[in-house]
Structure 1
């Protein structure tokens, strides 16, 4: 317990300047790129439409009509939670080097040779067939995911640099007169997980529960606000949610203005101080009971749209990177 308290005191000192924008670390010597295949050359393993019924079962390999590079493991996954139009049945075409998958409600564009170009067009107006979503009902997702092949411990790091080029092409609210910002939104979000990695025979009273985790958010866009504030809440509100802590940093740390439609932004930030802040919050609020800092690892990410509201949206990504800088 004394060791844990000492770690918390050290972290609190390091967090004293956490609200200011973090300068990117340019020298990458000794760094590790956590993302395997950052250009999506191996394609995507498509998950089902229900996280409850389908779980992690792969429905289809979006392999660019056989042009995707082979891989010894499944690298990228794509989640399509709660869509009525399964991407398993999507049509495929290739035009000017861009691989395109199309359903009634969404179109996915990929070009590995263009810095990992990925465009997602999602029309929730064609997905909410029975009218706007009500509280307690699930909402549509379009996410890419990866479990890191080389997870790293937070205590090993001096920095964790995230980079992404992002353009919000368009957002159109199609919810209608029943629009309620308390339950309807268009959100473009980026998440990591911070996981408690301990041996199977560990004592939870000493090191916490094996596999316990929190969500760490790097929010990009929310139609309800110009800048997304720092927040902490539980992942709940619909079927398939995890009931785990979601701790998100403020978008003011990497955006100087309200997101402008069609304008390209470069995110480049060291998120390690904010991850440390998230860990302290979880410990102090019983979200990671008995977990120790030296056992926490960054092991997973997802990125994409969550649409609790009836919105038609489009976004483009390039140059995704998650680089661990060792001490």
Structure 2
């Protein structure tokens, strides 16, 4: 039997036990940089231009966007200078670093500067807040039913997260924080279904300044004028993290999203959303990762080895 399996694998061009999954993120190492957004949407010009390293061949347009909603000062399109395997873009509001200096996975640093963004003033209810994200829109939506596994993996750390000195005694946990999550938009793709094109936000929490490990969050996306109004299903962070995620250490995540998406659909339906939807109807439109800063925090997030692989097609 073993010999037969080896012969079959050889005929298919695969070693026995080889990983037959495929990467679903385009450009997971950010070779082509990012397409920068404006500070709000909708606007006449949502995308303002490219941010990428000046070194290396031009391999085509960026696969990633970099949303910078709600900021006081936009990063501007530029070809950043690469030195010793790292390239950096920054202004008074934020800093972005792509790090290829080591032998390990390519790293990305996202830093928000809440002291500058809020300029001595606390955010009130209903006001927009600064974001610094990476985002990928999938040209062909990903149907979870097509895969036995959807493995999301990365390493992440929070080197620093500190409130502005003037804000320390004014923070309201119901209104002010800095947080990092991985989010996917998941919609019903079945034409003729009552839920067709309706969607939820499915998320895995990574860090929240208010909690050692970020908790679950099930609620509508509201709080500012351009919010989507769609249901958010953020899974409890204790499912993924055993120790506080803001301790400055690297934390490894590798998780199969297929059972989590089934769970997220059930949770959404228990709250009255996508009630006519089956798991087989679902499709993933987009992914985003990074900072939302509804409070005046100076904070840094690093990620490396970012991947989403589909197995068993």
Superposition TM-score tier, normalisation by shorter sequence: 0.7 to 0.9
Q: 1:144 aligns with which of 111, 123, 134?
A: 134
Indicate conservation of the 8 Å contact 2:32/2:52, yes or no.
yes
Distance 1:279 1:75, change over 3 A: same
In 1, Cα distance between the equivalents of 2:79 and 2:114? Answer: 19
Task: Name the structure 2 match of 1:86.
Answer: 74
Q: Distance in 2 between matches of 1:100 and 1:106?
A: 11
CA apart distance, 1:253: 1.8
Report how far residue 280 of structure 1 moved. 1.6
Structure 2: runs of 5 or more not aligned: 1-16
Measure the CA separation in 2 of the matches of 1:215 and 1:28: 33
Write the deviation string for residues 27-83 of structure 1: whole angstroms up to 9, x where unpaired: 77332211011000011010111123257x320101213646422x54100000011
Alpha-carbon contact 1:43-1:69 (below 8 Å) kept: no
Alignment of 1:118-197 (within 5 A): 118-129=108-119, 131-174=121-164, 175-197=167-189
1:109 and 1:68 mapped to 2: Cα distance?
19
2:49 to 37, 47, 60: 60
Distance 2:161 2:249 in 1: 13
TM-score normalised by structure 2 residue count: 0.87
Match of 1:222 in 2: 208
> d(CA) in 2 for partners of 1:131 and 1:221?
24
1:215-254 matched pairs, under 5 angstroms: 215-254=201-240
- Structure 2 partner of 1:107: 95
- 8 A contact 1:208–1:292 mirrored in 2: no
The answer to whether the 8 A contact 1:34-1:150 is kept is no
How many aligned positions are there? 293
Shift of 1:283: 2.7
> Residue 227 of structure 1 contacts residue 258 of structure 1 at CA under 8 Å; is this kept in 2?
yes
Distance 2:213 2:90 in 1: 32
Alpha carbons 2:156, 2:304 under 8 Å: kept:
yes
CA distance in 2, matches of 1:211, 1:222: 30
Pick aligned residue for 1:261 from 227, 231, 247: 247
**Among residues 285, 290, 294, which one is paired with 1:308 in the alignment?**
294
Contact 1:39 1:113 in 2 (8 A): no
The aligned counterpart of 1:41 is: 31
5+ unaligned residues in a row in structure 1: which ranges? Answer: 1-26
Q: What CA distance in whole angstroms lies between the structure 1 residues aligned with 2:284 and 2:151?
A: 12
Deviation at 1:319, TM superposition (A): 0.5
